[in-house]
């Protein structure tokens, strides 16, 4: 019983810390662009098109070293 009296406040404190960390991440913009990082991994920009970042300018990265997609 005494263990339970100690574990409940500890669990509530850890849950509160987790909630505060989530709210901080939400307010600081960590979840604003979830698809951007995935698209940066999959697509390369041409050197000529580095100034324009339109979606129609993206091309897929070659799957093998020979350059064939």
- At 22, list the tokens: 């989530």
Residues 38 and 48 in one domain: yes
Residues 27 and 56 in one domain: no
* CA distances to 24, 25, 42, 53 from 32, in Å: 13, 10, 19, 18
Residue 2 has pLDDT above 70, yes or no: yes
Helix (H, G, I), strand (E, B) or coil at 44: strand
Residues 69 and 38 in one domain: yes
- At 39, list the tokens: 């698209």
Residues 20 and 37 in one domain: no
> Around Cβ 43, how many Cβ atoms within 10 Å?
13
Residues 37 and 69 in one domain: yes
Residues 14 and 38 in one domain: no
**pTM for the model:** 0.51
pLDDT in tens, 11-39: 999 999 999 999 999 999 988 888 887 88
Residues 38 and 24 in one domain: no
List the beta bridge partners of residue 60: 43
How many domains are there within the chain? 2
Residues 24 and 40 in one domain: no
């Amino acid at each position: 019983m005494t263990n339970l009296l100690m574990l409940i406040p500890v669990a509530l404190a850890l849950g509160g810390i987790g909630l505060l960390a989530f709210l901080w991440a939400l307010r600081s913009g960590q979840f604003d662009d979830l698809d951007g990082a995935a698209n940066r991994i999959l697509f390369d920009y041409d050197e000529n098109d580095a100034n324009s970042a339109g979606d129609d300018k993206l091309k897929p990265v070659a799957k093998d070293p020979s350059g064939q997609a």
